[in-house]
Amino acid sequence: MTKPKISVIIPIYNVAPYLERCMHSLRMQTLADLQIICVDDCSTDNSMNILELMAIKDPRIEIYSTKKNSGPGVARNIGLKHVRGEYIGFVDPDDWVEHSWYEKLYNAAQVDGCQVVVGNMKSVWADGKKVKLESEDGEFLFGARPWRCIFDAKFISDIGAKFGDGYLAEDTVFELPVILKMQSAKIVRDAFYFHFENQMSLTRKRASDRQILDIINIYPKMWDMINGATVSWDAYRYIIEDRFLFLIDNFYYQVYDPDKQLLLARLIIDLYKKTKNADKFLVRDEILSDLLETQNIKKLMEYMDLRAKNYVYKYRLFGLIPFLRINDRHRTRSVYLFGCLVYRRKFFWGMPKK
């Protein structure tokens, strides 16, 4: 059996409305020499039927299943066991890639023999609005998610990189050893992965006890791993900032129970205390930095609640005609002109500014 150039792993769970779009983008790749590994995580919708029909038409598609619903990390690890390609890629089933995505990344890897190649991304909302990712090189390399990369399969095998078996931060368990041990990487800015921003994911979903436990167990281990590694200051800063961002602006937003909010706030302060040169972080949000430095848990919780709220600014022409509305929600700014969306972008640290 010939060795494919890239093995693509897709974890699948109840994504029937989006699956054909995702799979079509993979089947139409200009780099045809692919192994397409689909791992169904006990879907209860029509996802398996869609996959089976596609597999009949396309022999590159291989279907595997988990024994029970276990989360995307377990599904991806099953996929890793069946990899035959030179490189490994990941795609989430509600996302898709441009037709030349893997050709561009693979060609870039061949030039310098890179262990990791990172492509660009466009966020796509349900209304069709696309926003291109604009990042400096450090954020590209150290803030990239697995689905925006291809990885040398031998490198992944040698370092034993695997995904976590939890329902949250499972990709970080895979990313960290890769980031900390990679010796060569390359950025391809003209290759695009389309990340679907499901509107439901922007609303306040309640975090389960299992998810909270995952975070409390995983994050201190991550900090120990990062602090014990020999990496550049830029790498260290980007890795730490990215994880702080997730906890403060994403996860805390999903925790309702006051006791569990308190646990999470204590975890955030403990991690801050374990961070090297902590005073050099969060410089774009002096309030947050001061609260962490003084370890004022009550004020920290109040401030994180404020950051999670929805801010709406409305403007009227001549004081009468509504013409401009700016909506800041969940680190995303949306600008509407006469009721039509004209701009949308995610912002970084700090409270929204008008």
The stretch 162-168 carries a mean pLDDT of 76
In this structure, of 21-35, 218-232, 258-272, 323-337, the range with the lowest mean pLDDT score is 323-337
Q: What is the pLDDT of residues 202-220, one digit of tens each?
A: 344 677 888 888 888 888 8
Contact indicator for 61, 51 with CB cutoff of 8 Å: yes
Contact indicator for 121, 192 with CB cutoff of 8 Å: yes
How far is Cα 238 from Cα 235, in angstroms, rounded to an integer? 5
In this structure, of 55-59, 84-88, 121-125, 186-190, the range with the lowest mean pLDDT score is 121-125
pLDDT at residue 165 in the model: 79
pLDDT at residue 137 in the model: 61
The stretch 178-183 carries a mean pLDDT of 88
Q: What is the pLDDT of residues 322-353, one digit of tens each?
A: 878 877 665 567 788 877 877 776 654 444 34
Q: How confident is the model at residue 155 (pLDDT cuts 50, 70, 90)?
A: very high
The stretch 273-281 carries a mean pLDDT of 76
The stretch 266-280 carries a mean pLDDT of 84
How many Cβ atoms from other residues are within 10 Å of residue 149's Cβ?
Answer: 21
pLDDT at residue 232 in the model: 76
pLDDT at residue 29 in the model: 98
pLDDT at residue 203 in the model: 41
Highest mean pLDDT among 156-160, 253-257, 260-264: 156-160
Domains annotated on the chain, with CATH: 6-199 (3.90.550.10), 209-308 (no CATH), 311-346 (no CATH)
Cα dist. 316→2, 197, 338, 339 in Å?
65, 30, 10, 12
- The answer on pLDDT for 158 being more than 70 is yes
Please report where in the chains the tokens 């404020």 appear, as a residue.
306
Paired with 187 in beta bridges are 118
Q: How confident is the model at residue 116 (pLDDT cuts 50, 70, 90)?
A: very high
The stretch 32-41 carries a mean pLDDT of 97
Paired with 197 in beta bridges are 125
pLDDT at residue 202 in the model: 38
- What's the pTM value of the predicted model, to 2 decimals? 0.79
Q: Output the average pLDDT for the chain.
A: 84
Q: Residue 78: CB partners within 8 Å, gap ≥ 6? A: 39, 64, 66
